[in-house]
């Protein structure tokens, strides 16, 4: 199911993300030669409704239309079938960013494909790997890393001052590539926002023009560690008022990357008095009691934490999670 090509598919720089299925037919790995042969790997559209990465690459390549690339680029264009219908994934598909080497997902055609892409790139010894995503809710732009080495953190710090370190969920592209090159994930706000496209495009250009990544720890970054993930059991209905089982807070959507103090109200319990959330740590253990308690039919934080990706968008919650809980991390 993987296409691999050494030339730019005709029309690629003019199409919309939802037209890529017609143009390419299936997920496609494109190798373009530049002056420095050690390639920069860029991964886009692992989630079909997160288009920023594709448009950033499109703008970048347009800007090099009449001059050589300073460094070779390998671009992976992922879930074109989901992009055609503006969905994260199709119901029949696994999540394209949970099936890379290291995944807990059962073997299938898609895990084979990601394994193939990883093996192809491992032998090409990439200079760095950049995977580009969007999120729902309101979040600043930030970069994520899966290992705390200086090259990864320097790369992340070139995107901005906010960096998140996570080791769960498993099977993400950036963690797989961290095995053989510095790897980052860019979270570029909501899909379709112009500043996310220009920010990630300019970041790719900076990395493309770089000779080497500094080897010392960056001093300017605020580093967070994802310590838990909050999900909503499927059986409970959701709203922000009304008579659903759980009431979510629109206000918290504006508090991503702000520290919330102990006692902050996290959600309200509605029609079903037994309704609750699930909080799991990076080892998938239930740590609900460590972070949350119920006070007067409200779910309240037991200790101060920082949120990321908090959203009230029900589809995003059902597809992934309600939010992540983070703590500040000091690097010496």
Find all residues with CB under 8 Å of 23, minimum gap 6, and list them.
9, 11, 12, 15
- Residue 245, CA distances (Å) to 112, 149, 298 in order: 40, 43, 12
* DSSP line for 122-174: HHH--SEEEEEE--SS----EEEESS--HHHHHHHHHH-SEEEE---SSS-HH
Q: Which is nearer to Zn ion, 186 or 260 (CB)?
A: 186
Q: How many residues bind Zn ion (CB under 5 A)?
A: 3
- Residue 181, CA distances (Å) to 58, 198, 259 in order: 24, 25, 32
Asked if 78 contacts 44 with a C-beta cutoff of 8 angstroms, the reply is yes
Q: Which is nearer to Zn ion, 50 or 253 (CB)?
A: 50
Q: Which is nearer to Zn ion, 303 or 315 (CB)?
A: 315
Binding mask 1-40 for Zn ion (x = CB under 5 A): ----------------------------------------
Please, what is the minimum distance in Å from the beta carbon of residue 47 to Zn ion? 4
Among 31, 133, 141, 201, binds Zn ion (CB under 5 A): 133
Residue nearest to Zn ion (CB): 133
**C-alpha span between 79 and 83 (Å, rounded):** 6
Please, what is the minimum distance in Å from the beta carbon of residue 135 to Zn ion? 7
Q: Which is nearer to Zn ion, 90 or 295 (CB)?
A: 90
Q: Does 47 bind Zn ion (CB under 5 A)?
A: yes
Please, what is the minimum distance in Å from the beta carbon of residue 200 to Zn ion? 13
Q: Does 141 bind Zn ion (CB under 5 A)?
A: no
Q: Which is nearer to Zn ion, 50 or 110 (CB)?
A: 50
Per the DSSP assignment, residues forming a β-bridge with 223 are: 163
Please, what is the minimum distance in Å from the beta carbon of residue 196 to Zn ion? 12
Q: Which stretch binds Zn ion (CB under 5 A): 45-53, 67-75, 138-146, 223-231?
A: 45-53
**C-alpha span between 56 and 197 (Å, rounded):** 5
Binding mask 288-317 for Zn ion (x = CB under 5 A): ------------------------------
**C-alpha span between 329 and 144 (Å, rounded):** 13
Q: Which is nearer to Zn ion, 47 or 201 (CB)?
A: 47
Q: Which is nearer to Zn ion, 48 or 270 (CB)?
A: 48
β strands within the chain, DSSP E: 3-5, 28-32, 34-44, 69-77, 128-133, 142-145, 162-165, 183-187, 222-231, 238-239, 246-247, 259-260, 265-269, 278-281, 292-295, 298-301, 305-308, 323-328
Please, what is the minimum distance in Å from the beta carbon of residue 187 to Zn ion? 8
Q: Which is nearer to Zn ion, 28 or 134 (CB)?
A: 134
Please, what is the minimum distance in Å from the beta carbon of residue 243 to Zn ion? 32
Q: Which stretch binds Zn ion (CB under 5 A): 14-22, 50-58, 113-121, 312-320?
A: 50-58
| Helical ranges in 160-300 per DSSP H | 173-177, 194-208, 288-291
Q: Which stretch binds Zn ion (CB under 5 A): 5-13, 52-60, 131-139, 220-228?
A: 131-139
Please, what is the minimum distance in Å from the beta carbon of residue 179 to Zn ion? 20
Question: Is 255 exposed, middle or buried, given 0-12, 13-18 or 19+ CB atoms closer than 10 A?
Answer: middle
The site for Zn ion (CB under 5 A) is made up of 47, 50, 133
């Amino acid at each position: 199911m993987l296409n691999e090509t050494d030339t730019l598919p005709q029309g690629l720089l003019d199409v919309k993300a939802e037209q890529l299925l017609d143009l390419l037919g299936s997920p496609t790995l494109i190798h373009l030669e530049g002056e420095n042969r050690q390639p920069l790997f860029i991964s886009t559209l692992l989630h079909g409704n997160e288009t920023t990465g594709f448009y950033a690459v499109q703008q970048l390549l347009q800007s090099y239309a009449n001059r050589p690339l300073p460094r070779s680029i390998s671009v992976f264009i992922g879930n074109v079938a989901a992009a055609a219908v503006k969905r994260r994934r199709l119901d029949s598909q696994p999540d394209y960013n949970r099936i890379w080497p290291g995944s807990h997902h059962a073997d299938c055609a898609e895990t084979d494909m990601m394994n193939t892409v990883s093996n192809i790139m491992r032998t090409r010894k990439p200079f760095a790997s950049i995977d580009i995503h969007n999120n729902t809710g309101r979040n600043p732009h930030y970069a994520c890393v899966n290992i705390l080495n200086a090259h990864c953190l320097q790369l992340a710090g070139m995107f901005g001052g906010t960096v998140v370190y996570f080791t769960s969920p498993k099977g993400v592209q950036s963690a797989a590539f961290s095995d053989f090159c510095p790897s980052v994930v860019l979270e570029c706000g909501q899909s379709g926002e112009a500043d996310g496209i220009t920010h990630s495009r300019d970041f790719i250009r900076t990395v493309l023009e770089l000779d080497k990544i500094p080897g010392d720890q960056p001093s300017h970054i605020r580093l967070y560690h994802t310590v838990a993930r909050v999900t909503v059991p499927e059986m409970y209905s959701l709203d922000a008022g009304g008579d659903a089982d759980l009431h979510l807070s629109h206000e918290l959507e504006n508090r991503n990357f702000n520290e919330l103090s102990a006692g902050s109200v996290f959600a309200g319990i509605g029609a079903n008095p037994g309704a609750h959330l699930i909080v799991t740590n990076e080892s998938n253990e239930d740590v609900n009691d460590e972070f949350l308690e119920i006070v007067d039919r409200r779910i309240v934080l037991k200790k101060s934490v920082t949120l990321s990706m908090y959203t009230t968008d029900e589809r995003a919650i059902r597809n992934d999670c309600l939010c992540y809980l983070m703590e500040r991390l000091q690097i010496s």
